[in-house]
A and B are shown apart, each in its own frame.
Chain A
Amino acid sequence: MSTKTMIIAKNLVKKYEEITAVDGISFVINRGECYGFLGPNGAGKTTTMKIINCMSPLTSGNVLVCERHVKTKPREIKALTGVVPQEENLDPDLTVFKNLLVYARYFEVPSNEAESRVEELINFLNLSEKIDSHINELSGGMKRRLLIARALINNPEILILDEPTTGLDPQVRHMIWQKLRQLKKNGITMLLTTHYMEEASQLCDRIAIMDKGKILIEGNPVTLVEEKIGKEVLELRINNAMENELLQKLNRFEFTHDRVGDTLYMFSRDGRELLQYLVSNDYPLVLHRPATLEDLFLKLTGRGLRE
């Protein structure tokens, strides 16, 4: 396999009875790229992942993975893919070691290779001490690491990570990021969903922000934020009346703004002068910070709760 594109999805639609979970999305994922799907709960991220991995049949559209059609070559596609599912499904009847060994057999890894591969992966994810433990004796972080080890058992070309660090402490999260970056260096193609914007910024070459089954925007996270939001954000805790008065005085500065509850957000490409003005005029400035993916995410998907 030497082609540049790894996954091509065209007009992908997935309906569950009355719900349309994925509503006509198209995207292309390149070899060696880390591509992130972001979006509120129920946006259709997991569904998209499941279709790519042939776990869930699509309603209409076309998905090619490694030049194979998901409808006709599911066994081949699954042989090339590793999956860390959103919902933990380790085998509670087996030990850590056996979990991986049994999985190696599903992929027909030759038995003399399988054991050394299992040990290698257990070391890679720092689980050696738990090698003979049963799954119910592991912490959440260990389970997630084991899921990642399991997803790597077949040396996959594509690694699908559905919220790999949700609910984990910062130490484990950073460790997982390290490992994922290392894998990426070795050329693996990664698909990642996450609710942590920092994680997406750290790992993804490109992201797609989804909502209600559609892709709202796609691109490099840094470029997107710069284009759509700016470089800096100023947060002010002021009421509506003060806001109107202030905005009139700020005519000469270039910025966009957004009010949420008691806070006024001001997005700017170069906020230094604006900041000076606000500070010298004693406005109740709460925060001056770089613009982030989270600003973009909230701008696009709104601030209302989803579920």
Chain B
Amino acid sequence: MKSIFKVPDISFRAYRVWQRNRDSYKRFYKANLIGSLGEPVMFLFGMGLGIGGYLASMEGVSYIQFIASGIIMVTAMYSATFECTFGSYTRMMGQKTYDGILATPLTVGDIVMGDILWGATKSLISGGIMLAIIIIAGLMKGPVIFIIPILMLIFLVGLMFASMAMIATALSPSYEFFSYYFTLTLTPMFFFSGVFFPLEKFPLIIKGISYLLPLTYAVNISRSLVTENFSYIALSGFPLLLALTIILVIVAVNMIEKRVVK
């Protein structure tokens, strides 16, 4: 148990792994972007306009605006997760890319951190594009300067879910495992983190669970920054997410190390 919280050996060389991932992404970026943006855009406009047509407002804002802030977070969550489950698993097992890198001065810590940073970068790309769409659609009501903290939040959410995904990758015996991971962790967050409905109306037990889901805090912050309802209380989620992310990174490095160093 102690060994999974060991301080990892991570250096600036993680950036070299990030560069490697960026270089290989250049080849596939179109398909990749359509894959990661298609769904959230459809959710935003499909549900936003569809259900929004029946609802006068949700917590004082239009329904489409209510979900817009949450969908940015969901986009960030899925991008990082796809990258650090299927992507990282392929590099670790199928392609033996990790073995190749481990023969150089890089450590497992550098590799895992590089993959996590890359996962977060993909969140930033797709989440950033979602934000741009939302701004163009006139759904951003917070001050323009809030774009900066929103982008920071997207990156942080990316780091957090990338690290969580790396842990799943460390545990995964095969690709099939990831379908459990998606169903048991991401889908509950998708529905019970207040993206589509305010949590207040849910039964107490679900409300309790939702406060255990990190995405809930991210959605609250995002909503506070995107809509007119700015709240300092929501911002208090920032340090919480940051602390959780640091722990997840440490655990991810140690668990991947156990898997690849024999």
Contacts and interface: CB of A to CB of B under 8 A. Distances in A.
Given A79-B105, A91-B20, A56 B261 contact: yes
A1 B104 CA distance: 20
A53 to B, nearest CB: 6
Contact of A106 (B13, B24, B99, B262): B13
Contact of B100 (A16, A78, A89): A89
B103 A102 contact: no
Contacts of A55: 99, 102-103, 261
A79 B106 CA distance: 9
A106 B106 contact: yes
Interface in B55-114: 95-97, 99-107
Interface of A is mostly: loop
A175 B95 CA distance: 27
Interface string A272-284: 0000000000000
Contacts of A89: 95-97, 99-100
Contacts of A107: 104-105
Interface residues of A, number: 29
Contacts, number: 66
A98 B27 CA distance: 12
A131 interface: no
A93 B90 CA distance: 11
B19 interface: yes
Nearest to A79: B105
B23 A102 contact: yes
Nearest to B260: A55
A105 B16 contact: yes
Contacts of B99: 55, 85, 87, 89
Nearest to B110: A106
A87 B104 contact: no
A56 B19 contact: no
B107 A75 contact: yes
A105 B102 contact: no
A238 interface: no
A91 B107 contact: no
A106 B104 contact: yes
Contact of B97 (A16, A79, A91): A91
Interface in A57-82: 57, 74-76, 78-79, 81
Interface in A87-126: 87-94, 98, 102-103, 105-108
Nearest to A94: B24
Contacts of A98: 23
Contacts of B97: 89, 91, 93
Nearest to A55: B102
A83 interface: yes
Contacts of B107: 74-75
Interface of B: 13, 16, 19-20, 23-24, 27, 95-97, 99-107, 261-262
16 contacts: A16-B262, A55-B261, A75-B105, A75-B107, A76-B105, A78-B104, A79-B105, A87-B96, A89-B100, A91-B100, A93-B27, A94-B20, A102-B23, A106-B13, A108-B13, A154-B104
Given A78-B103, A93-B27, A102-B16, 14 more contacts: A56-B262, A74-B107, A79-B104, A85-B103, A87-B99, A89-B97, A93-B24, A93-B95, A93-B97, A103-B104, A105-B16, A105-B20, A106-B13, A108-B105
